[in-house]
């Protein structure tokens, strides 16, 4: 009985997954691909799944992928979501840089701070999309962007939880 209590739950020979290095990036691409689902949204209140997964991974770990992968991941997101090409490339690269600076400054982190940081980045994302749509001729009032923003901020904890589960599986813990 004592032995059983002392024994680690970890089974011998169980290590990180063979694709541990690319699983984070692959899940971000999969999240971008969710727009391929045959759902016709007339209001456009679905969150930006690709960016949610991206921020979720980056807040969980400082090195889910090499920093420069942000650009190609953003390009894939732009192509699949049909947004203006280059928006996610610039935004996601800038988010990598900004989050590194934030990592350097913050003394401690908890769920609330992570949620607040994610909320700031999601707001920035919506604002940029709104701004670019304005330049492209679709001048929507800023208030109309409220519901999708609130929805994506509320969905973030769920995404962060899914990402952390995938991370545990990925590292074989």
Partner 1 sequence: MATARPGWSRRAQYGLFFSFLAVLAGILVGLILLTLSLVAPARFAAVRGAALDATAPITSALYEVTSTAKGMVTGAGDYWDAAHQNAKLKRERQVMQQRMIEARAILLENRELRAALQLRERARDAVATGRIVGSSFTSPRRFAILSAGRSDGVRVGMPVRSAEGLVGRVIDAGQLASRVLLVSDRSNIVPARLLRGGIPVISQGRGDGTVDVRPLEVGRNPFKRGDIIITSGTGGLYPPLIPIARVIRLDDDGAIALPLADPARTSFAIVEPPYEPAAEAEGPTP
**Smallest separation, CB 26 to partner 1 (Å):** 16
- Do residues 71 and 28 lie in contact, with contact meaning Cβ atoms separated by under 8 Å? no
Between 94 and 162, name the residue whose CB sits nearer to partner 1.
94
Is there binding between residue 124 and partner 1 (CB under 8 A)?
A: no
- Do residues 162 and 55 lie in contact, with contact meaning Cβ atoms separated by under 8 Å? no
Question: 81 Cβ partners below 8 Å, 6+ apart?
Answer: 32, 35, 48, 50, 88
Between 14 and 30, name the residue whose CB sits nearer to partner 1.
30
- Residue from 20, 22, 29, 46 binding partner 1 (CB under 8 A): 46
Is there binding between residue 112 and partner 1 (CB under 8 A)?
A: no
- Do residues 8 and 25 lie in contact, with contact meaning Cβ atoms separated by under 8 Å? no
**Smallest separation, CB 46 to partner 1 (Å):** 4
List own/partner pairs for 106-109 with CB under 8 A and 24 or more apart. none
- Residue from 102, 145, 150, 155 binding partner 1 (CB under 8 A): 145
Residues in the chain: 173
Is there binding between residue 123 and partner 1 (CB under 8 A)?
A: no
Rule CB under 8 A: which of 80-99 touch partner 1?
A: 80-94, 96-97
Among residues 115, 7, 10, 109, the alpha carbon closest in space to that of 55 is found at: 115
Binding-site ranges for partner 1 (CB under 8 A)? 33-49, 62-63, 66-68, 70-71, 74-75, 79-94, 96-97, 100, 103-104, 129-130, 132-133, 135-140, 144-145, 148, 152
């Amino acid at each position: 009985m004592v032995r059983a209590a002392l024994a680690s739950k970890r089974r011998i020979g169980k290590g990180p997954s063979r694709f541990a290095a690319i699983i984070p990036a692959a899940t971000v691409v999969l999240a971008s691909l969710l727009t391929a689902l045959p759902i016709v949204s007339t209001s456009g209140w679905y969150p930006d799944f690709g960016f949610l997964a991206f921020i979720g991974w980056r807040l969980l770990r400082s090195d889910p992928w090499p920093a420069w992968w942000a650009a190609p991941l953003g390009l894939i997101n732009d192509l699949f979501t049909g947004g203006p090409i280059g928006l996610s490339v610039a935004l996601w690269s800038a988010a990598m840089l900004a989050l590194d600076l934030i990592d350097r400054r913050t003394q401690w982190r908890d769920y609330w701070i992570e949620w607040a940081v994610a909320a700031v980045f999601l707001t920035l994302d919506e604002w940029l999309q709104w701004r670019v749509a304005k330049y492209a001729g679709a001048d929507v009032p800023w208030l109309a962007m409220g519901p999708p923003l609130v929805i994506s901020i509320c969905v973030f904890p769920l995404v962060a939880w899914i990402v952390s589960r995938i991370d545990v599986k990925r590292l074989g813990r």
